[in-house]
Amino acid sequence: LLGEMRALLVAEFDQAWHESIAQPWTERHAFMQAMKEKLTLYAAASRTRELSQDEQWDFASAVEGVKGGKAAKSILDALLQRAPEHAPALYARGRILLEDNDERGAADIERAMALDEEAREPGAQLLYTYFYSRQDFSRCDRYRNTLEETRRQRERAVAERLQLKQNDVLEPHGLSAEQLQPWLEVLAAEDSVKRAWLVRRRVQHLPRVPAYVLVVQFRLPTFGRARAMARIAEAVP
């Protein structure tokens, strides 16, 4: 049907496909290389000293990235023995157990959801999918309700955070020097910034997800401030 156009179209589609996968493949390759380097580093360090909790979590993530979830489970077990309320580790172990069709993972996911607001929605989705696949529909309903409530809460929280009212309560930001450093670097990179204030805003919806207010005083005339503020807003954590 295509005649002489066939070879040309095949070549064009091949080229388009190669171009579409080039960047994702490059990013994936770089990610895997970084994971392998971490794996080697932490494996060597663990033979001479006890890893910190953060290092142990990073080690577990690297092992899962390179060798898969089952290989990382023993490291997660050891980390959770030291830090039973480490929400990311609980979530990771629960996910790995569920992937292995082990229902004990549901308890880990539930605990992670209770400890970390950001785990509620993906955790409910994961548990809904798991119990739906097992045709345990009574438990599915529970997690579907959680998903609906989480969606409504997020919508209310977004609407609340889009407005700054005169009677809003503003408090000290509460960030450590390490957590504050990325903010300071962004502000220091903008020569137009004269002074800046960072506070935490008390919110009603999703209060465990912090809401911050950054106020910036510029040296620039009015017409230059919007562009500088856009750069800052794009760069801050």
Q: Where are the beta strands (DSSP E) in the chain?
A: 170-172, 193-201, 211-218
CA distance 217 to 9: 57
Contact in structure between 69 and 54 (CB atoms under 8 Å): no
CA distances from 142 to 124, 134, 136, 139, 157 (A): 9, 15, 11, 5, 22
What's the predicted TM-score (pTM) here? 0.68
Which residues have C-beta within 8 Å of that of residue 119, sequence separation ≥ 6? 87, 91, 109, 112, 113
CA distances from 172 to 162, 196, 200, 201, 210 (A): 20, 14, 6, 9, 12
pLDDT value at residue 226: 87
CA distance 130 to 101: 9
10-13 CB contacts, 8 Å cutoff, 24+ apart: none
CB atoms closer than 10 angstroms to residue 132: 14
Max mean pLDDT range (13-22, 24-33, 83-92, 148-157) = 83-92
Confidence label for 29 from pLDDT (cuts 50, 70 and 90): confident
- DSSP letter at 100? T
- Region 129-155 average pLDDT: 90
* pLDDT over 80 (residue 28): yes
CA distances from 110 to 66, 93, 120, 138 (A): 27, 12, 8, 16
